[in-house]
Structure 1
Amino acid sequence: MKISQKLEYACRALAQLAKVHDGRSLTRLEEMAQREAVSGNFLVQILNDLRRAGLVDSRRGKAGGYLLARPADAISLRQIVEAVDPSVLQCGVSTEGESGAAVRLAWENVSVNLRASLDKISLESMVSGQGAPMFYI
């Protein structure tokens, strides 16, 4: 599956914030950018999208920074996707031609299942590693 760089960076920034989330501690933009090897200019755009979606709060000033707007277990991967790259969840298949409607229905089912799967994954489970399945050899 191919996800956008913007979505990947949003997840990484939120993971950084989740690691220190106590409802009070701020993380500076420069600190996040350095830890995640992300451009600060690009990261601020992403954080603004996340702020508009109500996933992060920000404080201005010399002692300012970012923090989660709510606990990590109350933020789903679907909410993150919807905040920064909602096109991932859209079904852009045409209904033209004899088979168009059937093909679109199949992709709409995939989209419904994807949404349900993304709802089940919380930011907390991503950070703690519980969001990834275990493979045994």
Structure 2
Amino acid sequence: MTTGLEGIAAGASALAGQAAGLRAAVDSGKVVMTPEAAERVAKLYEDKADDVRKKRFRTDRLLARSAFGDCNIGRALGQKFEDKVNAPEVGLVAILAKTEEILRNMAQAYRDSAREMQNTDEEHARNLNRNV
């Protein structure tokens, strides 16, 4: 069973896997959307990314100074918590930053799927004009 930051990191890892699958599907032409539909979905992902960004910038509120008391054990607990929040690559701030990036990449993948549809339509129109 995962707890705390391990659970959040596992969720971010799962989201990264979904994003990679989406990107592969878009790049291979398996996901093609109208520009309007792609923009609606992309907007949802960007809104989620904005929410994550806000949470990431508010993590300093999690660091309650002297919340554990002004003694060696209290300071050690406070430092341990701060380390969990700010640790590079595995801390809460790093996980939230990665999650935000993944969400924005997913939004872009949906937009790219619409561009692929437009490019295909334009190519078909050019081919049709050549054959007429």
Q: What is the TM-score normalised by the length of structure 1?
A: 0.31
Structure with the larger helix share:
2
Q: What is the TM-score normalised by the length of structure 2?
A: 0.32
| Greater relative contact order (Cα < 8 A, sep 6+) | 2
Structure with the larger strand share:
1
